[in-house]
């Protein structure tokens, strides 16, 4: 099988690779016959040595690698108040010796102290980032670009990247992960019927699609559950970013809408708003495995996985792989919801 070679792209090592792939034995014992003979594995991209871990580190390896290569002294990015990406950008920038500025929007209709000052938002300050808070409707990327221009006028050099680190350069992280997963599966004697992830800013899914396509494999092996944009918009974003990543890699192949395997049915009322399926998934994995899904991304995506398995989507005896993408600090921003005390 062809492996992906991305060695020509600058990269900083933030995530110990390969991250482990583990069976969810406790969960499978608990679910029993409801699984219809399907085996569930997780890839532990939530495990890392800096910033409490998470999938954004794969993107940041290439984003901050590019920033350092072009002589930047500051990293600037955007996200919501409880952005995992922002928290990890702050942590990775600290390790890389870069200043960090974050432009965070109030995208979720909550003003309580748990949401506005705990979890990821607390850690942004602990990791030393300069935080600019904006209204939910603000164009945070435009504000970030304007700040970069101010820094340039002062003789500084800022490297700006979008929400979730989901630029073509950032998506290289999950193109590389696709190759890593296939090598691990081969070594473990496994064939995965599906690789499943949450879809926020579309970069994780787009990177997986690009990596699979560049290696000559079927991109529909990667499936995501939308948690931010509605289904049609999320699908279009994955398609656009996957093709931009393929162009950056230098692959001849491009993907079509039929190559994008995406489900928007478990998003609920909107980004960051809890659902019953998410609550079940977070509690079930915590109480059978001692592992934490986050309430914004992986909790909703795992709810989608559980739905599909229970509905018999996968043949008996097949194996599916779920990406544990981190987001643990977000649990503390949703403590009342998770404890059963309301939103």
- Give the residue numbers annotated as catalytic, written as ranges: 83
Positive or negative: CA dihedral 171, 174, 176, 182 = negative
CA 267 from chain center: how many Å? Answer: 15
Token couple for 175: 């193109």
Cis peptide before 126 (omega within 30 of 0): no
CB atoms within 10 A of CB 258: 9
DSSP string, 123-170: HHHHTT-EEEEE-TTS-HHHHHHHHHHHHHHTT--EEEE-GGG-SHHH
Q: How far apart are CA 111 and CA 143, in angstroms?
A: 22
Backbone angles phi, psi at 260, to 5 degrees: -100, 110
């Amino acid at each position: 099988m062809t492996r992906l070679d991305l060695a020509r792209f600058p990269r900083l090592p933030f995530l110990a690779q390969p991250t482990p792939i583990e069976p969810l034995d406790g969960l499978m014992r608990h679910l029993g016959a409801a699984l219809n003979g399907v085996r569930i594995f997780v890839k532990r991209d939530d495990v890392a040595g800096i910033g409490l871990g998470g999938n954004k580190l794969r993107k940041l390896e290439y984003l901050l690698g590019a920033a350092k290569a072009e002589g930047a002294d500051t990293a600037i990015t955007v996200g919501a108040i409880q952005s995992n990406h922002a928290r990890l950008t702050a942590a990775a920038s600290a390790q890389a010796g870069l200043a960090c500025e974050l432009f965070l929007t109030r995208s979720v209709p909550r003003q309580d102290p748990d949401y506005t000052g705990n979890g990821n938002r607390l850690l942004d300050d602990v990791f030393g980032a300069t935080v600019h808070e904006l209204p939910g409707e603000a164009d945070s990327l435009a504000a970030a670009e304007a700040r970069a221009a101010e820094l340039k006028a002062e003789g500084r050099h800022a490297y700006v990247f979008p929400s979730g680190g989901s630029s073509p350069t950032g998506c290289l992280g999950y193109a590389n992960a696709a190759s890593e997963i296939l090598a691990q599966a081969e070594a473990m004697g496994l064939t995965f019927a599906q690789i499943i992830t949450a879809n926020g800013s579309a970069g994780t899914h787009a990177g997986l699609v690009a990596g699979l396509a560049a290696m000559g494999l079927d991109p529909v092996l990667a499936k995501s559950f939308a948690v931010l944009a509605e289904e049609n918009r999320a699908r279009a974003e994955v398609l656009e970013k996957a093709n931009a990543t393929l162009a950056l890699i230098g692959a001849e192949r491009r993907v079509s809408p039929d190559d994008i395997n995406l489900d928007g049915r478990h998003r609920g009322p909107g980004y960051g708003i809890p659902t019953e399926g998410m609550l079940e998934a977070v509690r079930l994995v915590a109480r059978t495995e001692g592992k934490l899904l986050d309430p914004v991304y992986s909790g909703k995506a795992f709810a989608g996985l559980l739905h599909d398995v229970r509905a018999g989507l996968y043949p008996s005896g097949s194996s599916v792989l779920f990406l544990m993408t981190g987001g643990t600090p977000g649990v503390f921003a949703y403590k009342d919801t998770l404890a059963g005390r309301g939103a």
